[in-house]
Chains A and B, each alone.
Chain A
Amino acid sequence: MRGIVKRFPGVLANDRIDFDVRAGEIHALLGENGAGKTTLMNILYGLYRPDQGQILLNGRAVAIHSPADAIRLGIGMIHQHFMLVPTLSVAENVALGLPSSRGFLLDLDVVTRRIRELSNVYGLRVDPTAMVWQLAVGEQQRVEILKALYRGADLLILDEPTAVLTPQEVRELFATLRRMAGEGHSLIFISHKLHEVLSISDRVTVLRDGRVVKTLPTSEATREELARLMVGREVLLRVERSPVELGDVRLSLKDLWAHGDKGVPALRGVTLAVRAGEILGIAGVSGNGQRELAEVIAGLRTPSQGQVEIDGMDTTGWSPERLLKHGLAYIPEERMRDGVVRDFSVEENLILKDHVDRPFASGIFMNFGTIASYADRLIENFDIRTPSRDAPLKNLSGGNIQKIVLARELSREPRVLVAAQPTRGVDISATEYIHQRLIAQRAKGTATLLISEDLDEILNLSDRIAVMYEGQIVGVVDQREATVEQLGLMMAGAHKV
C-alpha cells in the first residue's frame, strides 16, 4: 500500500501511509486506538475507499471497491467483532455468498467436506454442522479463519484477534497462524498488545495519529521501544505498588446467586471478601458472571440468594442511590450505556451522582458557579483532555470519557470501589494513568474489586486474584504466586492447581 490517505469529517485517519507485507510473513500493525490501523485495513479489504494512494498486489496496481473485490483478489479479513450469523450453522456461514456447485440450490454437504479438509490441514478443530451460537468464542474465530481460507485467501488480515481469547486459545491461534505462514500465506496482525506482537510477528509497523512511525524487524524490537513509538513518549508499563497495610473487611459477598438476562443463573454461590487497602482482581473470560456480579454489588440487579455487606452492613437489595451514599463507587463495564450521558456536557457528567446535594444544589436550584469550579478542578486533576467543561461528552475519546467516570467516582472518596473493565478500549497512555489512580486509591484505603479480562492488568494491579468460571469462583490466588499459565487454566474451568 502506497501513500494511502483517508479523511473522515474532522480527522485525518490515514496520512500518506506506506505499508507492505511479504509472502509467508506475519506482519504486525501496532498502534493506539484511533491510530488508523483498522481504517487502513478496511481500505485494504474494500470497506472504505482511500482518498489518495494506491494498493499493489504482487506488483500489480489493483482497485478494491468492495469486500467482494478483496475476496476475489485473495484477501481475507477476520474482524474484531466476528462477522458470523449466529442462527446459521458453521457450513452455512462458510457457504454464504459463495456460488454453489448446484447453481441455485445449496450444496452444504460439499461445503462440509471441504471444511473438514481445511480443518485437518491447518489444525482448526470445528464441527461444520454445529450452529454458530452454540460455539465458544475461540471456535467462532476458527470459523472466521476457515471462511477466509475457504475463499482462497493468500493475505489474511486479523483485527485484534486475541482480544476475546483465553491464554490457551491464544496459543492455539498462534500455532495456527504460524502454520498458515509456513504454507506461504501472508498475515497482517493488528494489535495493541506488545507481548503478542513480539511473540508472533516477523516485522512490526507502528502507527501513531494516522502516520507510520516506523517499520522494523521484530527481532530488533523491545517492549519499551514499541511502547515509546506507539505513544510518542516513555511509558511506564508497570505501575509501582507499594505495600499497604490492610484494614478491615469493607466488602463481603456471601453465597451470592443471581440470574442473568436470559433467566439462567449467572452467579452460582459467590463468596468473597475485600479489605480496606486491597485490590481484589476478578479474572475470567467474559460472560462468566462478572457483569452480573458487578451489577449485584452496585444495586442494579437483585440477587436471588445470598448477601452483600459493605462496611459490615447488609446492603442486599439497596437502591443504587442509597449504596452510593453509603460509600460505594462503581465504574461500569459499558461506560457509554451505564456510566455517562452521551449528550450531556463534561461538567454535567461529572456531577451526575451528586447533583441534588450540597454544594451543587440548594433545594431545587443548581449552583452553577460551584459546579463549574468543581468541574474545572477535576478536569485538571484527572488530566481530562476536553476543549472545555461545556463540551458535549460524546465528542471526547474513549480514554477521556473513562477518566471522567473515574474522576466522578474517585472524587467521592469511596470506601468500596467496583471497577469493571476500567481500561477496555482505552489507549496505553490513558491506561497507564487509570492504573496509577487505582493504585493511589488503594493507598488511601479503598477496598477495590477490579473486574478485567486483561490478565496483564489483573496481575499488575491486584493483591489477590479470584478467577470466575460459569458463575463460580474457581479459586483465589495471591498475586505474588500467580502465573498467566495457572490463571489461564483456571479461566477455562480447571480448579486451583
Chain B
Amino acid sequence: MNGNEHEHVIEVTDLRRVYGGGFEAVRGISFSVNRGEIFALLGTNGAGKTSTVELLEGLARPAGGRVRVLGHDPYAERAAVRPRTGVMLQEGGFPSELTVAETARMWAGCVSGARPPLEVLELVGLAGKTGVRVKQLSGGERRRLDLALALLGDPEVLFLDEPTTGLDAEGRRDTWELVRRLRDAGTTVLLTTHYLEEAEGLAERLAILHEGRIAAAGTPAEVTAAQPSRISFELPQGYFVGDLPPLDGMGVSGHEVDGRVVRLHTHELQRTATRLLVWAEGAAVELRRLDVRPASLEEAFLGIAREAAAEAAGTRTKEYAA
C-alpha cells in the first residue's frame, strides 16, 4: 500500500468536510490515485463530489482527515502544489466582458511555464472563437474554455469537476478523447461525474460517493462484479413465488416481489436463467415481460442509491446469506 510516495499522486485519508451550518458533506472518505491514472468520483447530485474535489484543489481546509497531492498538503503548502495542478471547476468563472483570447492571456500570466494560449484553445476546439466575448459563448464552449485554461500550465495533476456537463454528445466524446490523450502523456486525472458511461469508459478506477461516503470503489469491472445480475418477469396467472423452484437452488441471492412482477438477484446469471426457463418450459407457462440484465455499473450505481434509500426508510431488500 504505502511503498513509494511518488506512486500515489493523490492520497486521501479519512477526509471530512463540514460546512458553516454544520452540514457534513464529506464523512470520512479514503482513496488514492496513482500517477498517470484516470480516477472518477461518481455520484448523484449532493453526494459530496464537489466538496471533496475542492479539498483536493486546496480551496478549503478539511474538517478532519488528510489530503496529500504530489506529497504535499494542497491547502497549507499551496506554493508547492499549485504550479503542478490544473483545475476545472464545476462552474467556471470568467469575466463575461473579456474575449476568449483575453481570458486565456490573463490566465497564462498567472501560470508557471504556460503554453501559448492559442495552442490550448486549439486543443479544445476554440481557436476560431478567440475574439468572442465570454458572455456570447454557449454553455459547452464555456466548459471547453475552462478546460483549456486548466491545461495551460501542462499540469501533472488535473482536477475536472463534471467536465462534460452541458456538452453535446460530440463535445463529450471530444473531451473524453482529450482526457485519454493527456493520461497517455502521463497526466494524472481526477474527475467527477454523474454520467455512468463517462466513468465506465474513461476511468481506470472509480469510487461511488453517496451522502458523503464511499459506497463502492475499485475498477469499473470490480465494482460491477460485486453487484448481482437481475432477472425480472411477470408471474403467470395463478402462480405464486412459492411455485418457483427453490430460489437458493437456482443461485438466487435475493428477490423482490412488486405486485405480479418478480425480480431475482443473482451472481450466477447463467444458472439462474437456465433453471428458470427450464421450469417455465416444464410448467408450460409464459414468463411475460421477461428481462435479463447482467450486472453493469449502472445497476451498481442504482443499486447503491436504492439500498441507501431503503436503509433510510428502514426497509431492506431481502437478502439471503451468500
Chain A complexes with chain B: no
Residues of chain B whose beta carbon lies under 8 Å from any beta carbon of chain A: none
Residues of chain A whose beta carbon lies under 8 Å from any beta carbon of chain B: none
